[in-house]
Each structure stands twice: as structure tokens, then as C-alpha cells.
Amino acid sequence: MKILAISGSARESSTNTALLRAMRKLAPVDVELLVIHNLNTLPIFSPDTEGNKTPMVVCEFLETVSVADGIIISSPEYVRAIPGGLKNAIDWMVSRFEIIDKPISLVHASHRGDDMLASLRLVLSTVSSNFLESLFFRIPLIGKSPQEITELLSQPEHESQIVSFLHNFVAALQMIESTPNPAFKRDALKHAH
């Protein structure tokens, strides 16, 4: 199983990226968790550059999204909103097939950011019929270095929370995969949590 973990921050020492990297180390043995944190390399979306004019870096990103069984997103809040790089990446996917039924869940590396989370939930529930809003993991990591985050998240109580979240996400992906009818999928997921 392939899970794509997208950080909404391009900052090298991002707490969101550090959280996703810690999750990668705790992924089940049969799960490949790929962390992407360079959304700033994608050019600004324009309908004029879609189709055969789509830039190669965008095509590569969309292919990575396409082959993923599910997506986990962790993002900071910029001026009470979704960071431009993350919104731009979503904009590139809106008119394409890759994201339509893709299971997506959120994790969050801060005690703040509720305005951004509300906006991101609205956007993701619009672009994917399998946005798993009830699957959410949050831990406040603001002000900590990547090394401090690695140490903190390796503590047994935090490690078990992450493992539990990943287990639930994988179980949801398996349920979605095994349910042929989209309407039944949504109903099954509502009763799964």
C-alpha cells in the first residue's frame, strides 16, 4: 500500500514535515509512506497550461498522487488560511481525475490553525468524495526543532497515538478499496468511526 504524505510547508525545518517524517518511521511494514514537502517547486496553476502544456514537474506530482492509495496532509496556517503552495497543488488537481475518489485525511502539528483547518476541510471535501474528516490526529509541536520533534514523537504515548492513527487510516483505505459502490463507501466509513 502506498500513502502520500504532503506537507503544506516548504520550510526545511517545518514542524509539519517533521511530523510526517516521524509518521513514515512508524508506518506498518506493508505500507510505503512517501513525504513530499516541496510544493513550492510547482508553478502557479493556470488553465492555459493544462493538458499537453502541463509542466513536467506538475505531471510528476500528479503521477505520484495517482499511484497513492491515500493521502495524509499536514499544513501550517498562513494568515488564517491555507498556504499558497498547498492551495496551488490542489488547484492543479481540481479538473483532473487523480483526486476525485482519493481517500484523504488530515494531521496537524499545532494547537492553533483552526481557521485554516476549516477551510482545508471544505476544499478537500469538495475535491474528493473520500475525504475522511473523522480521521484526524493533532499534536502541538510549534517552536520545536525537527530533532526535538523526533525525540518527542518517539516517546511511547505519542508513538502509540501515531501508530493508532495510521492503523485506522489503512483500515479505512482497505474498506474503501473493498466497497464497490461510492455511496456505500461513504456510509460504511461513517459507521467505522
For the chain, 193 residues long, the average pLDDT of each consecutive 10-residue run is 96 94 95 96 95 94 96 95 96 86 96 96 94 96 93 95 97 89 50 47
pLDDT at 119: 97
| pTM of the shown model | 0.91
Number of residues in the chain:
193
| Domain that includes residue 49, residue range | 2-192
pLDDT at 193: 46
> CA-to-CA distance for 162 and 186, rounded, in angstroms?
24
pLDDT at 185: 47
Q: Are 45 and 60 in contact (CB under 8 A)?
A: no
- Residue 7's nearest CA partner among 28, 25, 31, 24 is 24
- 79: left (phi > 0), else alpha (psi -120 to 50), else beta? left
pLDDT at 184: 47
Q: Are 53 and 186 in contact (CB under 8 A)?
A: no
**SS3 state of residue 159:** helix
pLDDT at 63: 95
> CA-to-CA distance for 17 and 1, rounded, in angstroms?
21
- Residue 70's nearest CA partner among 155, 160, 131 is 131
Kindly report the CATH number assigned to the domain that includes residue 47.
3.40.50.360
36 beta partners:
6
The count of domains in the chain is 1
pLDDT at 182: 53
The one-letter amino acid code at 122 reads L
